[in-house]
Chain A
Amino acid sequence: MRKVARLARLDPDDARVESLRAELSAVIGYVARVRAVDAAGVEPLVHVSDEPAHLAEDAPGPTLPEGSAAAMAPESFGPYVKVPKVLGDEGGGA
């Protein structure tokens, strides 16, 4: 569960962790019944409609007013959004 929490960027305190673990166990135990369903050869269904995507024309549209990103951010530096120092190279996973 620690691993899942880290992937999800959640950090429940020790008091919460135990009850969370119990709750999740119960739920996972219940939802596991999907594994018992006889679904051999059935394709997973992600989109209920098979209408293909409507693609947009490449016409540049309106942007947010200049300064919006900095104004919305809890911390900013000029026009930039400011975050704690990041170590390592650009593109964490790309």
Chain B
Amino acid sequence: MERRGAHQIAADVASGSISAAAVIDEALSSARGIGRSLNAVLETFDDHAMERARALDAARERGETPGPLAGVPVLVKDNICTSVGRTTCASRMLEHYTSPFDATAVARLEAAGAIVIGKSNLDEFAMGGSGEHSAFGPTKNPWDLSRVPGGSSSGSAAAVAAGIVPMALGSDTGGSVRQPAAFCGVVGLKPTYGLVSRLGLVAFASSLDQIGPITRTVRDAALALRVIAGHDPGDATSSRRHHPDPLEGLDHRVHHLTVGVPRQARGEANRPEAASAFDDALRTFAGLGARIVDLDLPSLDAAIAAYYIVSSAEASSNLARFDGLRYGRRAASRPGESVESLVSRSRTEGLGPEVQRRIMLGTHVLSAGYADAYYANALRVRRLLKNEFDAAFASGCHVIATPTTPGAAFRIGAHDRDPLAMYLEDLYTVPANLAGLPAISLPCGVSTAQGSALPLGLQLIAPAFHDAELLRAARMFESASPHDVLRPPVVPAA
């Protein structure tokens, strides 16, 4: 059961061949078991989820039409607000915080019949690329428990890979859906900026953040996107542009598919296993009749720098609200203490080191005397990068391909002493966020170069609002590749 796709589960529940209650019961059991031993799941909504499952079964028996995700168990990254349970962002600052409202994406999933069974672990406030920066302990990669699952949507990716749920919501600011998907051997989609509402997503970098699904198949990713995408008047950055139905024609190949490959994607940053998996992937496309063209995107060299400036600047501002005054963790009061001192202590105690680093960096690059040199220039690089992407697509590419990451999952603790080294791993994923383009990571191989079997990901990027076409190209690859549904070794329950 755990290996069935969301699409299949919904069909089975709708037809009555399986009950939502049975599906949810099993998923909850996994979440409490494997989910906890991987430290992928922070909280399960046992009562709420079973109640909803039973209500769904009752509705179906009454003859009501079930939604497209009826009975599908879903995990939600804990930086996405749910009115049930807590929304901690994996931070001590919000350890006991309960949100009075649901994120729009969550509400849409539930309206489609999906059942949120709990919240998944993440790098604190979505800042990180490994899953090690959670205040509640690191998440482990189900493929190798000594390695990171990637981040920041670490729990969501690990849970889907381990078969706990077929679908989980993550958020992607610089690769936080795609990179863990690659490390865990599953599919991770970052939609076009503005396609999915950010209302209820705890903001990290507002101009870069998007909620995206992590699934085992491209079809499930398309199904999720169809449910959560679309204009939300509660989010001023939500697009009103018409976009094609991502499920329609999913299995239809893209005619004369042209895949652009930037020369920067084959650089020295790539470790051998990533380089060879990427070459294999390109051969697969060629075998499908796709045309592979070389591209030059010079601004990619400065993309990580631009990304860390912009995202940290926005983060330093978005996290200023966490002062312990109106909600969240407030430090124990000291007599005669000023507000300023209390706020500083609350924030220093409540926010983890990576978060503090980014806030400091962000504050610095916006401060008087530096904003022009850093922040403004980073935004100029951003425009250059976007222009280069636009030009590449205009010249005939349907999608642009790169490895998702320069290598497979690294060991837990590998980058402890060197935050910068961690940042450099993001080189392939940040450009799509900077340019607002849809991008997907697909499993494209398993490497044993480092001892254990570790998955690798192929990234495809498409023009803005071409998510449906991106998914079709992804589906093409998936159907032709031998890696369509990877299974990690079975993880013993705790």
**Interchain CA distance A54-B232 in the complex, whole Å:** 10
Indicate if the CB atoms of A35 and B373 lie closer than 8 Å: yes
Indicate if the CB atoms of B361 and A24 lie closer than 8 Å: yes
> Is B59 in the interface zone, CB < 8 Å from A?
no
Select which of B316, B364, B379, B423 is within 8 A of A24 by beta carbon.
B364
Query: 8 Å CB contacts to B: which residues of A15-48?
Result: 16, 20, 23-24, 26-28, 30-35, 37, 39, 42-48
Which chain B residues lie closer than 8 Å to A9 at the CB level? Answer: 320, 323, 340, 343-344, 347
Indicate if the CB atoms of A28 and B361 lie closer than 8 Å: yes
Indicate if the CB atoms of B386 and A51 lie closer than 8 Å: no
> Is B419 in the interface zone, CB < 8 Å from A?
yes
Known interface pairs A34-B374, A34-B378, A51-B194; A84-B305 also in contact (CB < 8 Å): no
Known interface pairs A27-B361, A31-B308, A64-B100; A54-B380 also in contact (CB < 8 Å): no
Query: 8 Å CB contacts to A: which residues of B325-367?
Result: 325-330, 333, 337-345, 347-348, 351, 353, 356-357, 359-361, 363-365, 367
Tell me how many residues of B have a C-beta within 8 Å of chain A: 71
> Is A56 in the interface zone, CB < 8 Å from B?
yes
Which chain A residues lie closer than 8 Å to B240 at the CB level? Answer: 51, 54
Indicate if the CB atoms of B237 and A31 lie closer than 8 Å: no
Indicate if the CB atoms of B436 and A83 lie closer than 8 Å: no
Nearest Cβ on chain B to A76's Cβ, whole angstroms: 10
Indicate if the CB atoms of A42 and B380 lie closer than 8 Å: yes
**Interchain CA distance A37-B387 in the complex, whole Å:** 15
> Is B143 in the interface zone, CB < 8 Å from A?
no
Indicate if the CB atoms of B377 and A10 lie closer than 8 Å: no
Chain B binding surface, main DSSP class: helix
Select which of B238, B304, B324, B344 is within 8 A of A74 by beta carbon.
B324
Select which of A11, A51, A54 is within 8 A of B344 by beta carbon.
A11
Query: 8 Å CB contacts to A: which residues of B384-428?
Result: 384, 386, 418-420, 423
Which chain A residues lie closer than 8 Å to B237 at the CB level? Answer: 47, 49
**Interchain CA distance A28-B387 in the complex, whole Å:** 26
**Interchain CA distance A20-B301 in the complex, whole Å:** 26
Query: 8 Å CB contacts to A: which residues of B133-192?
Result: none
**Interchain CA distance A3-B368 in the complex, whole Å:** 12
Nearest Cβ on chain A to B336's Cβ, whole angstroms: 8
Q: A9-B323, A51-B239 are in contact. List 18 more A-B contacts (CB 8 A).
A: A9-B340, A11-B347, A12-B348, A23-B357, A23-B420, A32-B305, A33-B301, A37-B380, A46-B379, A48-B435, A49-B239, A56-B233, A68-B100, A74-B328, A74-B330, A75-B333, A81-B325, A83-B339
Which chain B residues lie closer than 8 Å to A26 at the CB level? Answer: 418-420
Indicate if the CB atoms of A31 and B374 lie closer than 8 Å: yes
Some 19 contacts from A to B, beta carbons below 8 A apart, are: A4-B360, A5-B360, A7-B363, A8-B360, A9-B320, A9-B344, A10-B360, A12-B356, A16-B353, A20-B357, A24-B361, A24-B364, A27-B420, A31-B308, A34-B380, A37-B380, A43-B383, A49-B193, A49-B194
> Is A53 in the interface zone, CB < 8 Å from B?
yes
Nearest Cβ on chain A to B245's Cβ, whole angstroms: 21
> Is A94 in the interface zone, CB < 8 Å from B?
no
Tell me how many residues of A have a C-beta within 8 Å of chain B: 51
Known interface pairs A11-B345, A69-B326; A48-B374 also in contact (CB < 8 Å): no
Known interface pairs A9-B347, A34-B306, A39-B380; A83-B325 also in contact (CB < 8 Å): yes
Which chain B residues lie closer than 8 Å to A33 at the CB level? Answer: 301-302, 305
Indicate if the CB atoms of A27 and B419 lie closer than 8 Å: yes
Most buried by B among A5, A39, A42: A39
**Interchain CA distance A1-B364 in the complex, whole Å:** 8
Kindly report which residue of chain A lies nearest to residue B378, judged by CB atoms.
A34
> Is B299 in the interface zone, CB < 8 Å from A?
yes
Known interface pairs A37-B299, A37-B384; A46-B326 also in contact (CB < 8 Å): no
Indicate if the CB atoms of A30 and B420 lie closer than 8 Å: yes
> Is B207 in the interface zone, CB < 8 Å from A?
yes
Which chain A residues lie closer than 8 Å to B100 at the CB level? Answer: 64, 68
Most buried by B among A8, A20, A24, A53: A8
Indicate if the CB atoms of B423 and A37 lie closer than 8 Å: no
Which chain B residues lie closer than 8 Å to A34 at the CB level? Answer: 302, 305-306, 309, 374, 377-378, 380-381
Nearest Cβ on chain B to A78's Cβ, whole angstroms: 15
Which chain B residues lie closer than 8 Å to A68 at the CB level? Answer: 100
> Is B55 in the interface zone, CB < 8 Å from A?
no
Which chain B residues lie closer than 8 Å to A85 at the CB level? Answer: 339
Indicate if the CB atoms of A23 and B383 lie closer than 8 Å: no
Which chain A residues lie closer than 8 Å to B377 at the CB level? Answer: 34-35, 37, 39
> Is B293 in the interface zone, CB < 8 Å from A?
no
Which chain B residues lie closer than 8 Å to A12 at the CB level? Answer: 348, 356
Which chain B residues lie closer than 8 Å to A72 at the CB level? Answer: 326-327
Complex interface bits, A60-81 against B, C-beta within 8 A gives 1, otherwise 0: 0000100011001111000001
Which chain A residues lie closer than 8 Å to B365 at the CB level? Answer: 31
> Is B290 in the interface zone, CB < 8 Å from A?
no
Indicate if the CB atoms of B356 and A20 lie closer than 8 Å: yes
**Interchain CA distance A12-B359 in the complex, whole Å:** 12
**Interchain CA distance A51-B192 in the complex, whole Å:** 14
Nearest Cβ on chain A to B442's Cβ, whole angstroms: 24
Kindly report which residue of chain B lies nearest to residue A72, judged by CB atoms.
B327
Select which of A10, A27, A32 is within 8 A of B356 by beta carbon.
A10
> Is B255 in the interface zone, CB < 8 Å from A?
no
Indicate if the CB atoms of B374 and A32 lie closer than 8 Å: yes
